[in-house]
Amino acid sequence: MSITIWHNPRCSKSRQTLALLEEKGITPDIRLYLEDTPTIGDIDHVLTLLGRDPRELMRTKEDAYKENNMGDESLSRDQLIQLMHDHPKVIERPVVINGDKAAVGRPPVDVLDIL
């Protein structure tokens, strides 16, 4: 089974998580999620695997979060997922997916639980 990382090479935690996987002998499929935006289905699936609400996978300090009023409590799950798709920079990174398990690499060692 392949392991995928939603990766942003400009992010230190993302780089550290990728390095940790490689140290464990894992060559993951690297999805540069800012260029290859996850589909709405992809985001919904990852949220389900993580057992999280959309806001728990959002970077609330990003300009796009504020500019698009993503903190509005009246927004539904579907609306938030659509916003995450439209503005992938707000997606917390890195996300590592291994079959029916996923983890956010914050801290990077958190991904070891799903390997």
Query: Whole-angstrom Cα distance, residue 83 to residue 98?
Result: 25
Q: Are strands 101-104 and 29-32 parallel, antiparallel or unpaired?
A: unpaired
Apex 34 CA angle, 31 and 38, nearest 5: 60
Question: If phi over 0 gives left and psi between -120 and 50 gives alpha, with beta otherwise, what is residue 69?
Answer: left
Which are the catalytic amino acids?
11
